[in-house]
Protein backbone atom coordinates (compact mmCIF):
# COMPACT_ATOMS: atom_id res chain seq x y z
CA UNK A 1 0.00 0.00 0.00
CA UNK A 2 1.14 3.55 -0.69
CA UNK A 3 0.10 6.44 1.54
CA UNK A 4 0.35 10.10 0.64
CA UNK A 5 1.35 12.63 3.31
CA UNK A 6 0.58 16.31 2.96
CA UNK A 7 0.18 19.32 5.18
CA UNK A 8 0.60 23.03 5.73
CA UNK A 9 4.17 24.10 4.84
CA UNK A 10 6.28 24.23 8.02
CA UNK A 11 3.70 22.22 9.98
CA UNK A 12 5.97 19.27 10.68
CA UNK A 13 5.52 16.94 7.72
CA UNK A 14 9.29 16.35 7.57
CA UNK A 15 9.20 15.31 11.23
CA UNK A 16 6.38 12.93 10.30
CA UNK A 17 8.61 11.32 7.68
CA UNK A 18 11.29 10.75 10.31
CA UNK A 19 8.80 9.16 12.71
CA UNK A 20 7.46 6.87 9.99
CA UNK A 21 10.95 5.85 8.86
CA UNK A 22 11.53 4.53 12.39
CA UNK A 23 8.63 2.09 12.00
CA UNK A 24 9.05 -1.43 10.69
CA UNK A 25 8.29 -1.93 6.97
CA UNK A 26 7.62 1.80 6.43
CA UNK A 27 9.51 3.98 3.97
CA UNK A 28 8.63 7.70 3.95
CA UNK A 29 10.07 9.81 1.13
CA UNK A 30 10.61 13.58 1.32
CA UNK A 31 9.18 15.20 -1.83
CA UNK A 32 10.24 12.66 -4.48
CA UNK A 33 7.89 14.26 -7.03
CA UNK A 34 9.06 17.50 -8.62
CA UNK A 35 5.89 19.55 -9.35
CA UNK A 36 7.67 21.47 -12.12
CA UNK A 37 8.07 18.23 -14.07
CA UNK A 38 4.33 17.60 -14.31
CA UNK A 39 3.15 18.31 -17.84
CA UNK A 40 0.42 20.98 -17.93
CA UNK A 41 -2.45 21.15 -20.41
CA UNK A 42 -2.33 17.52 -21.49
CA UNK A 43 -4.95 14.80 -21.77
CA UNK A 44 -3.44 13.23 -18.65
CA UNK A 45 -4.57 15.17 -15.55
CA UNK A 46 -1.95 15.99 -12.94
CA UNK A 47 -3.34 13.49 -10.42
CA UNK A 48 -2.96 10.65 -12.94
CA UNK A 49 0.58 11.78 -13.68
CA UNK A 50 1.22 11.54 -9.94
CA UNK A 51 -0.27 8.03 -9.87
CA UNK A 52 2.09 6.99 -12.66
CA UNK A 53 5.02 8.61 -10.85
CA UNK A 54 4.21 6.68 -7.66
CA UNK A 55 4.30 3.40 -9.59
CA UNK A 56 7.61 4.44 -11.14
CA UNK A 57 9.07 5.24 -7.71
CA UNK A 58 7.97 1.89 -6.28
CA UNK A 59 9.45 0.02 -9.22
CA UNK A 60 12.74 1.92 -9.00
CA UNK A 61 13.10 1.17 -5.28
CA UNK A 62 12.37 -2.52 -5.82
CA UNK A 63 14.91 -2.79 -8.65
CA UNK A 64 17.58 -0.77 -6.93
CA UNK A 65 17.41 2.18 -9.30
CA UNK A 66 17.99 5.76 -8.11
CA UNK A 67 15.01 7.95 -7.24
CA UNK A 68 14.75 11.71 -6.86
CA UNK A 69 14.26 13.27 -3.44
CA UNK A 70 13.71 16.81 -2.26
CA UNK A 71 16.93 16.60 -0.27
CA UNK A 72 19.52 14.24 -1.73
CA UNK A 73 22.17 15.32 0.82
CA UNK A 74 20.25 14.09 3.86
CA UNK A 75 18.14 11.48 2.06
CA UNK A 76 15.86 9.60 4.46
CA UNK A 77 17.51 11.34 7.41
CA UNK A 78 16.32 14.80 6.42
CA UNK A 79 15.61 16.72 9.60
CA UNK A 80 14.73 20.18 8.40
CA UNK A 81 14.94 21.39 4.77
CA UNK A 82 15.59 24.90 6.09
CA UNK A 83 18.86 25.59 7.86
CA UNK A 84 19.32 27.50 11.10
CA UNK A 85 21.83 30.00 9.70
CA UNK A 86 20.45 33.41 8.83
CA UNK A 87 21.36 35.03 5.52
CA UNK A 88 22.93 38.42 6.20
CA UNK A 89 21.34 39.98 3.10
CA UNK A 90 17.75 38.88 3.71
CA UNK A 91 17.72 38.29 7.45
CA UNK A 92 16.02 34.94 6.83
CA UNK A 93 16.98 31.30 7.20
CA UNK A 94 17.95 29.72 3.90
CA UNK A 95 16.84 26.50 2.27
CA UNK A 96 19.56 23.89 2.73
CA UNK A 97 17.89 20.99 0.93
CA UNK A 98 19.27 20.11 -2.50
CA UNK A 99 17.08 18.07 -4.84
CA UNK A 100 18.84 15.13 -6.44
CA UNK A 101 18.98 11.37 -6.93
CA UNK A 102 19.59 8.77 -4.21
CA UNK A 103 19.92 4.99 -4.20
CA UNK A 104 18.12 3.10 -1.43
CA UNK A 105 19.96 -0.21 -1.59
CA UNK A 106 18.58 -1.45 1.72
CA UNK A 107 15.06 -1.58 0.25
CA UNK A 108 15.81 -3.58 -2.91
CA UNK A 109 13.23 -6.31 -3.29
CA UNK A 110 11.58 -5.53 0.05
CA UNK A 111 7.84 -5.19 0.58
CA UNK A 112 7.39 -1.84 2.33
CA UNK A 113 4.55 0.48 3.15
CA UNK A 114 5.50 3.49 1.08
CA UNK A 115 4.69 7.04 2.21
CA UNK A 116 5.22 9.94 -0.19
CA UNK A 117 5.24 13.48 1.16
CA UNK A 118 4.37 16.60 -0.82
CA UNK A 119 2.68 19.68 0.63
CA UNK A 120 1.10 22.11 -1.83
CA UNK A 121 0.92 19.70 -4.78
CA UNK A 122 -1.01 16.96 -2.98
CA UNK A 123 -3.27 19.47 -1.23
CA UNK A 124 -4.21 21.15 -4.52
CA UNK A 125 -5.20 17.74 -5.94
CA UNK A 126 -6.54 16.26 -2.71
CA UNK A 127 -10.05 15.45 -3.96
CA UNK A 128 -8.75 13.52 -6.97
CA UNK A 129 -5.86 11.83 -5.15
CA UNK A 130 -8.18 10.60 -2.40
CA UNK A 131 -9.78 8.30 -4.99
CA UNK A 132 -6.41 6.65 -5.62
CA UNK A 133 -4.56 6.69 -2.26
CA UNK A 134 -5.12 6.92 1.49
CA UNK A 135 -3.92 10.38 2.54
CA UNK A 136 -2.88 11.85 5.90
CA UNK A 137 -2.85 15.64 6.37
CA UNK A 138 -0.96 17.70 8.98
CA UNK A 139 -1.96 21.10 10.37
CA UNK A 140 -0.35 23.44 12.89
CA UNK A 141 -1.35 26.50 14.91
CA UNK A 142 -1.28 29.50 12.53
CA UNK A 143 0.89 31.49 14.92
CA UNK A 144 3.79 29.06 14.55
CA UNK A 145 3.22 28.60 10.83
CA UNK A 146 3.26 32.32 10.10
CA UNK A 147 6.32 32.91 12.27
CA UNK A 148 8.14 30.26 10.28
CA UNK A 149 7.02 31.71 6.95
CA UNK A 150 8.24 35.16 8.02
CA UNK A 151 11.72 33.93 8.90
CA UNK A 152 12.65 31.63 5.98
CA UNK A 153 13.56 32.11 2.34
CA UNK A 154 10.90 30.11 0.50
CA UNK A 155 8.15 31.18 -1.94
CA UNK A 156 5.55 31.02 0.83
CA UNK A 157 7.51 33.67 2.75
CA UNK A 158 6.58 35.96 -0.16
CA UNK A 159 2.97 34.82 -0.16
CA UNK A 160 3.43 32.50 -3.13
CA UNK A 161 2.68 28.79 -3.42
CA UNK A 162 3.73 27.75 -6.94
CA UNK A 163 2.59 24.11 -6.91
CA UNK A 164 -0.67 25.12 -5.25
CA UNK A 165 -1.42 28.01 -7.58
CA UNK A 166 -0.58 25.95 -10.68
CA UNK A 167 -2.89 23.10 -9.70
CA UNK A 168 -5.72 24.89 -7.90
CA UNK A 169 -7.61 27.51 -9.86
CA UNK A 170 -9.48 28.37 -6.66
CA UNK A 171 -6.31 29.27 -4.78
CA UNK A 172 -4.87 31.19 -7.71
CA UNK A 173 -8.01 33.29 -8.01
CA UNK A 174 -8.14 34.02 -4.28
CA UNK A 175 -4.55 35.24 -4.21
CA UNK A 176 -4.93 37.55 -7.16
CA UNK A 177 -4.58 41.21 -6.19
CA UNK A 178 -3.68 40.62 -2.52
CA UNK A 179 -0.61 41.96 -0.78
CA UNK A 180 2.00 39.59 0.63
CA UNK A 181 0.59 39.30 4.15
CA UNK A 182 -2.98 38.71 3.04
CA UNK A 183 -1.77 36.11 0.54
CA UNK A 184 -0.19 34.25 3.45
CA UNK A 185 -3.39 34.38 5.47
CA UNK A 186 -5.32 33.14 2.44
CA UNK A 187 -2.85 30.30 1.79
CA UNK A 188 -3.10 29.07 5.38
CA UNK A 189 -6.90 29.12 5.30
CA UNK A 190 -6.91 27.33 1.93
CA UNK A 191 -4.95 24.44 3.45
CA UNK A 192 -7.36 24.15 6.38
CA UNK A 193 -10.39 24.39 4.09
CA UNK A 194 -8.95 21.65 1.89
CA UNK A 195 -8.50 19.30 4.86
CA UNK A 196 -11.83 20.01 6.56
CA UNK A 197 -13.77 17.31 4.59
CA UNK A 198 -11.08 14.79 5.61
CA UNK A 199 -10.93 15.66 9.31
CA UNK A 200 -10.58 12.00 10.32
CA UNK A 201 -7.41 11.80 8.24
CA UNK A 202 -5.93 15.04 9.59
CA UNK A 203 -3.60 15.30 12.58
CA UNK A 204 -2.41 18.36 14.46
CA UNK A 205 1.32 18.95 14.92
CA UNK A 206 0.75 19.75 18.59
CA UNK A 207 -0.92 16.38 19.16
CA UNK A 208 1.98 14.59 17.45
CA UNK A 209 4.44 16.25 19.85
CA UNK A 210 2.34 15.73 22.98
CA UNK A 211 1.85 12.01 22.24
CA UNK A 212 5.45 11.42 21.08
CA UNK A 213 4.15 10.50 17.64
CA UNK A 214 1.27 8.25 18.66
CA UNK A 215 -1.31 10.62 17.16
CA UNK A 216 0.47 10.28 13.82
CA UNK A 217 1.08 6.53 13.67
CA UNK A 218 -2.57 5.86 14.49
CA UNK A 219 -3.49 7.49 11.16
CA UNK A 220 -1.33 4.85 9.45
CA UNK A 221 -2.84 1.96 11.45
CA UNK A 222 0.47 1.13 13.11
CA UNK A 223 -0.41 -0.96 16.15
CA UNK A 224 3.01 -1.53 17.76
CA UNK A 225 4.95 1.65 16.98
CA UNK A 226 8.52 2.52 17.83
CA UNK A 227 8.36 5.97 19.38
CA UNK A 228 10.83 8.40 20.89
CA UNK A 229 10.31 11.40 23.13
CA UNK A 230 9.43 14.57 21.24
CA UNK A 231 9.57 18.16 22.43
CA UNK A 232 8.79 21.64 21.17
CA UNK A 233 11.70 23.64 19.86
CA UNK A 234 11.10 27.16 21.07
CA UNK A 235 12.86 29.79 18.98
CA UNK A 236 13.55 33.46 19.57
CA UNK A 237 12.56 35.89 16.87
CA UNK A 238 13.95 39.26 15.83
CA UNK A 239 12.10 42.37 16.91
CA UNK A 240 10.81 43.19 13.42
CA UNK A 241 9.10 39.78 13.26
CA UNK A 242 7.58 40.23 16.71
CA UNK A 243 6.36 43.69 15.71
CA UNK A 244 4.73 42.13 12.66
CA UNK A 245 3.10 39.50 14.88
CA UNK A 246 1.73 42.12 17.28
CA UNK A 247 0.36 44.21 14.43
CA UNK A 248 -1.36 41.20 12.85
CA UNK A 249 -2.66 39.49 15.98
CA UNK A 250 -6.27 40.61 15.54
CA UNK A 251 -6.30 39.22 12.01
CA UNK A 252 -4.59 36.01 13.14
CA UNK A 253 -7.11 35.33 15.91
CA UNK A 254 -9.92 35.88 13.39
CA UNK A 255 -8.54 33.42 10.84
CA UNK A 256 -10.78 30.57 9.76
CA UNK A 257 -9.04 27.31 10.70
CA UNK A 258 -12.19 25.32 9.90
CA UNK A 259 -12.36 23.95 13.44
CA UNK A 260 -8.80 22.68 13.70
CA UNK A 261 -7.91 25.43 16.21
CA UNK A 262 -10.11 27.50 18.47
CA UNK A 263 -9.72 31.24 18.81
CA UNK A 264 -8.59 30.65 22.39
CA UNK A 265 -5.85 28.25 21.30
CA UNK A 266 -4.56 30.79 18.80
CA UNK A 267 -4.74 33.64 21.36
CA UNK A 268 -2.94 31.55 23.98
CA UNK A 269 -0.14 30.74 21.56
CA UNK A 270 0.19 34.39 20.57
CA UNK A 271 0.52 35.44 24.21
CA UNK A 272 2.98 32.64 24.91
CA UNK A 273 5.29 33.64 22.06
CA UNK A 274 5.16 37.35 22.81
CA UNK A 275 5.72 36.87 26.56
CA UNK A 276 8.80 34.70 26.06
CA UNK A 277 10.66 37.10 23.78
Specify the higher pLDDT residue, 146 or 235: 146
Let me know: does 69 contact 102? Beta carbons within 8 Å.
yes
Q: Kindly tell me the sign of the dihedral angle through the C-alpha atoms of 124, 130, 135, 138.
A: positive
| Element of type H or E holding 95 | strand 93-95
What is the number of other CB atoms lying within 10 angstroms of the CB of residue 221? 10
Rg (CA), the chain: 18
pTM: predicted TM-score of the whole model, two decimal places: 0.94
Is pLDDT of 202 > 90? yes
Is pLDDT of 90 > 90? no
**How far apart are alpha carbons 105 and 111 in whole angstroms?**
13
**How far apart are alpha carbons 109 and 104 in whole angstroms?**
11
| Element of type H or E holding 203 | strand 202-204
Give the residues across from 26 on adjacent strands. Answer: 113
Q: In what order do the strands lie in the sheet with 135-139?
A: 26-30, 113-117, 2-7, 135-139, 202-204
Specify the higher pLDDT residue, 171 or 234: 171
Percent of the chain clearing pLDDT 90 (strictly above):
75
What range defines the domain where residue 37 resides?
2-276
pLDDT of residue 89: 62
CATH number of domain containing 102: 3.40.50
Q: What is the pLDDT of residues 32-58, one digit of tens each?
A: 999 999 988 778 899 999 999 999 999
Q: How many domains in the chain?
A: 1
Amino acid sequence: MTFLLTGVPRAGTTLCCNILNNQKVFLALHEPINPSKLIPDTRTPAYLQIKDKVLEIKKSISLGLPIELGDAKQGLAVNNPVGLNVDAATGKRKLQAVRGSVLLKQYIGKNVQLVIKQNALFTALLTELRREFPIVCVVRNPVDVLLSWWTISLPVSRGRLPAGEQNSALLASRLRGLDELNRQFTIYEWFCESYEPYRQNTVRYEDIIITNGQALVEKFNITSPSLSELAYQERHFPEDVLHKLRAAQNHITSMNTFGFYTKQEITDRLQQVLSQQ
